[in-house]
Amino acid sequence: MKNKSDRIWLAIVLIIALVLRFVGINHGFPFIFHPDEPALVRAALELRFYPNPGHFDWPHLYMYLNYFLYMGFAYIRNLVGVFGFKDTLNTLLPIIWDDTLIYYLLTRMFSALLGVLTVIPIYLATRNTFGKRIGLIAALSFAVIPYHMWSSHYALIDVPMLFFVAWGVYFSLAVLKRSNTNDYAGAGFYIGLAASTKYNGGLTILTIPFAHLIRVIKNKEKLFNLTSLWNLSVTVFTSMIGFLIGTPYALLDYSTFIRRDSYKGALWQLKNVGSIEIPDRIPEFFNEMINKVSDDFGYTILIGFFVVFSILMYRVLAKKQTDKDTALWFLVISGIYLLFHVSGFSKSRSHYYFIAYPYVTICFAYFVDLLLKKFGDKNKIIGFLIFISLIGPPAFMSVRNAYIYAVPDTRVDTYRWLKTNLKIDDLLVYDKESLSMITDKFKNRKIKGESGMQNNSQGIVVVSYDSNCNCTDFSLTKYATQIKKLVEFSGELKKGPKIEIYSLNK
């Protein structure tokens, strides 16, 4: 019964992860506002004509996976037409035949599904190391990480990369416990696939020899012997196989792959992200943790991770180590190394930190369980309050984010309003280039900038506000006698900027 109960709880966690990531999966439609989504979708579609994408700014595994997804979808869609169900489905789901949007939706759903399924290796890795309860806590914690949930809504490569990294962590923790060639092979292979999805996934390859070294020292094995050399060689080999399965043209088009003078080469990425000066790295690490990464995790998860580090330091000084400390040290050191490494990039964007998420999440789950054992197991009310206070903040932020995706973007609101209210002979004036995506949908005469206000014409003025200063490029008070405010779309709990629409009179 116990195993059945654990499976039920894991299923509930997966459902929570699924709902959070699929609510609002069609956000922004009929527009694609994220600048990187078209790069992936178009690259996958272009594989129909030539299997080499011809550029290595991103590795190719996720492009190929989406290509096969698209081709499978197209085949099924054709069958629907052959069997006479097109009209019925077109009424129910017209997006199926909208080639401008359907491929974005398919990739978003694929990415979101991989984001959900990442819960499984997180659960298994934690359960096998610390037990079922901590495994479920880790699974739930990962399911509600706000930034991972947010990123799972896009047709991008970061969430799929983390899926493979999580399986690499699962096998790395197995390497920590035993000398089994299959574990070394699995860890190397999945990290190779991670690197073939996004290059920085390959940084986690260093955790495998680190796990090996910890086990050798703990068990007083020989540092160098034939078994160790064989296992580590298998790791290198399977990681290369994993990478080349997804990005075969790294070998077949090697001269382009090693270029660093343009985006076509993989080495260009090293130049692009840059690095900060060594003396600045420690202060920058703390700055990133406090001002960016903690928010991405929902605060309590990252705090719990560093508390576990403090606990381990105390246990060493007090000579009170436990059986689980070896695994915890592996997770903590690996996590801090990855966080510190990424914080040293000149461009350390939030999604670059994804590679550290499994290590941080598992340690946080251990911390939650530690508090529950100490204070909550004997008093269910206290236990419940501890659990809610720790899981609650990231869960609340994820639910809020799901709501933001579920409601229309302010730019979509603007488009819908214009479709209903804009007359064919109206002049359409707008303030920012970012609005041209919307205004281009209309055949009206259009003018960008304040010169449109001086045109002695009748029409509509669309003004967007900069979120940093709540200001617009237009001097609205200057034209107070010519314009009248018609509607406002607030950016509060919505994607998109605050937008105001005015009528323009002659």
Mean pLDDT of the chain: 93
Nearest to 18 by CA among 149, 192, 177: 149
Residue 261 has pLDDT above 90, yes or no: no
Rounded to whole angstroms, the Cα distance separating 113 from 313 reads 38
Confidence of residue 309 (pLDDT cuts 50, 70, 90): very high
Give the chain's domains with CATH numbers: 2-26+110-279+291-406 (no CATH), 410-504 (3.40.190)
pLDDT tens by residue, 71-130 = 999 999 999 888 877 888 888 888 999 999 999 999 999 999 999 999 999 999 999 999
Query: In the prediction, which pLDDT does 449 show?
Result: 87
Cβ-based neighbours of 17, under 8 Å, separated by 6 or more: 115, 116, 119, 142, 143, 144, 149
Q: Which of 171-185, 234-248, 455-469 has the lowest mean pLDDT?
A: 455-469
Confidence of residue 481 (pLDDT cuts 50, 70, 90): confident
**pTM for this model (two decimals):** 0.95
| Angle ∠(26,31,36) on CA atoms, nearest 5 | 85
Query: In the prediction, which pLDDT does 140 show?
Result: 98
Structure tokens at 118: 């990442």
* % of the chain with per-residue pLDDT over 70: 99
Rounded to whole angstroms, the Cα distance separating 41 from 59 reads 14
Rounded to whole angstroms, the Cα distance separating 269 from 240 reads 19
Rounded to whole angstroms, the Cα distance separating 45 from 53 reads 10
What spatial distance separates the first Cα and last Cα of the chain, rounded to whole Å?
A: 77
Cis upstream peptide for 30 (omega within 30°):
yes
Residue 455 has pLDDT above 80, yes or no: no
Q: Rg for the chain (alpha carbons), in Å?
A: 26
Residues in the chain: 506
Query: In the prediction, which pLDDT does 1 show?
Result: 41
Query: In the prediction, which pLDDT does 2 show?
Result: 59
* 3-class state of residue 34 by DSSP: coil
Query: In the prediction, which pLDDT does 220 show?
Result: 86
pLDDT tens by residue, 276-303 = 988 899 999 999 999 999 999 999 999 9
DSSP letters spanning 467-499 = TTTTB-SS-GGGGTTTEEEEEEE--TTSSS--E
Query: In the prediction, which pLDDT does 363 show?
Result: 98
Sign, Cα dihedral of 113, 115, 121, 124: negative
* % of the chain with per-residue pLDDT over 90: 80
